[in-house]
Amino acid sequence: MHVKGIYMSPESTLRIANFALLLFFLAFCVSVVLAYGFESQIPMIVVALLHVAQLVLAGLVKVAYVVRLVSQKQLGMEVC
């Protein structure tokens, strides 16, 4: 079923997925560095929230990667 206005082209979806993959991965790396590198300098609750953020961001990286794979397949690109 196609609803007008919601459909995005595979090119746009691929571009957004690539950007999201990069953004979520960088945010994950920052949370790891803060949680493990500066744990003695930040409050415990912040460290706990950084660990929760790592779980959420890891899931978002995976979702962005799957969207990227689907977009590549729609465009006829090699999917690996």
pLDDT digits (tens, 9 = 90+) for 47-73: 999 999 999 999 999 999 999 999 999
d(CA 52, CA 70): 28
Name the H helices within 1-80: 10-37, 44-74
| Mean pLDDT to the nearest integer, 2-10 | 74
Please give the structure tokens belonging to residue 78. Answer: 């090699």
Task: Summarize pLDDT for 9-38 with one digit per residue, the tens.
Answer: 999 999 999 999 999 999 999 999 999 999
For tokens 């919601």, what's the residue?
Answer: 6
Whether 6 has a pLDDT exceeding 80, the answer reads no
The sign of the dihedral angle between the CA atoms of 64, 67, 73, 74 is negative
